[in-house]
A and B are shown apart, each in its own frame.
Chain A
Amino acid sequence: NAGVMQNPRHLVRRRGQEARLRCSPMKGHSHVYWYRQLPEEGLKFMVYLQKENIIDESGMPKERFSAEFPKEGPSILRIQQVVRGDSAAYFCASSPLQPGQGITEAFFGQGTRLTVV
């Protein structure tokens, strides 16, 4: 059973370009979470999605950032018109359990390290 797969592992974008980060959850997992890790900091929650639905986007910047988890295919985190401050590691996690019913154990991918030049 493959783990959470993220690609690309490293992404370099010039200011103003778009960045698209992909995440394929573990088989059988229908809950996906995106986190951002700035240098020397912990992970900050961005968004929680289930198939075709955004459940909680309280951590998403109001502009330029969007996320989707279509019925088929990976979850996508999209950053439009990137700026230097978007440089960070972006981690995806997936969970097999319905939140609110007990333990939420999240399995993390290896992350995408975005560098904006």
Chain B
Amino acid sequence: GNSVTQMEGPVTLSEEAFLTINCTYTATGYPSLFWYVQYPGEGLQLLLKATKADDKGSNKGFEATYRKETTSFHLEKGSVQVSDSAVYFCALSGSSSNTGKLIFGQGTTLQVKP
């Protein structure tokens, strides 16, 4: 079945450091891919998305490219801020599915220190 695997956290960085959070997936068909962010005590917010191979999603300085050949959707940011501290979830939604449900990775906690 479909699944998502993320790098384990926590990831601890200093402010202005480069961020990479790895995400790989297993899916049949051509899924859409998403990154969601969860701040402490809050729900999930959509950060960015990509719907087909080689698409690049971007938002708030974050980027991720849909790589079908490596089945990956790694999240990157060139210079992190303390306010980026949160839990990041990679997810997929199968285009062949008729339910629209999301399958999430286990989440990666990012801690950014001043």
Contacts and interface: CB of A to CB of B under 8 A. Distances in A.
Interface of A: 4, 6, 31, 33, 35, 41-45, 48, 55-56, 59, 91, 93, 95, 97, 99-100, 102-111
B93 A104 contact: yes
Interface in B16-69: 32, 36, 42-46, 49, 51
Contacts, number: 70
Contact of B51 (A41, A93, A102, A106): A102
B51 A48 contact: no
Contact of A31 (B93, B100, B105): B100
Contact of B95 (A35, A48, A100, A108): A100
B97 interface: yes
Contacts of A41: 106-107
Interface residues of B: mostly helix, strand, loop or mixed?
loop
A31 B100 CA distance: 9
A45 B103 contact: yes
B99 A55 contact: yes
Contacts of B46: 105-107
A99 B32 contact: no
A42 B49 contact: no
Interface string B68-99: 00000000000000000000010001011111
Tell me which of B42, B100, B107 has the highest count of chain A C-beta atoms within 10 A of its own C-beta: B100
A42 B102 contact: no
A59 to B, nearest CB: 8
Given A48-B100, A106-B100, 12 more contacts: A31-B100, A33-B102, A42-B105, A43-B44, A48-B99, A55-B99, A97-B100, A100-B95, A100-B100, A103-B49, A106-B46, A106-B102
